[in-house]
């Protein structure tokens, strides 16, 4: 059975050594996300909700309109790719959240973003 609303999210992360200052407890990471509409109906990404947690358990909550200033509209089979970043106080952390989506008919639904790791290379945690 075809699902009307199915959003696939693929994530790649990188540690940005040149922008990080470990002695100041500042670890900078980039992430690139590809959002693909695998459903049978079009949907627009309206807003985002992130929980960014460092290894000390400190969580930053981020909510906002769209992603990188855009609210992409995805027809079935279409993808949207963007890059952004996060700064945490430890060399390892996680991010997770959801995108709030709206169908052309006005139905809203959440596309969950599974937890993924932010980790400085060489750190075993």
Per-residue tens of pLDDT for the chain, all 125 residues: 578 899 999 999 999 999 999 999 999 999 999 999 999 999 999 999 999 999 999 999 999 999 999 999 999 999 999 999 999 999 999 999 999 999 999 999 999 999 999 999 987 65
Indicate whether 125 belongs to any domain.
no
Indicate whether 122 belongs to any domain.
no
Domain that holds residue 25: 7-117
CATH number at residue 61: 2.60.40.1470
Indicate whether 123 belongs to any domain.
no
Indicate whether 81 belongs to any domain.
yes
Question: What is the domain count for the chain?
Answer: 1
Indicate whether 85 belongs to any domain.
yes
Per-residue DSSP letters for 19-54?
G-BGGGTBEEEEEEEEEEE-SSS-EEEEEEEEEEEE
* Structural tokens at position 3: 């699902």
H or E segment at 82? strand 79-88
52 contact partners, CB below 8 Å, separation of at least 6: 59, 60, 61, 62, 86, 88, 93, 94, 95, 118
């Amino acid at each position: 059975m075809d699902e009307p609303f199915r959003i696939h999210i693929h994530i790649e992360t990188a540690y940005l050594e040149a922008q990080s200052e470990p002695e100041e407890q500042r670890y900078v990471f980039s992430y690139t996300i590809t959002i693909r509409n695998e459903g049978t109906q079009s949907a627009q990404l309206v807003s985002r909700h992130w929980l960014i947690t460092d290894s000390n358990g400190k969580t930053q909550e981020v909510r906002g309109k769209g992603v990188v200033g855009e609210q992409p509209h995805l027809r079935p089979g279409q993808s949207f790719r963007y890059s952004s970043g996060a700064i945490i106080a430890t060399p390892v952390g996680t991010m997770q959240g959801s995108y709030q989506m709206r169908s052309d008919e006005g139905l809203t639904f959440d596309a969950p973003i599974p937890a993924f790791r932010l980790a400085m290379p060489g750190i075993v945690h």
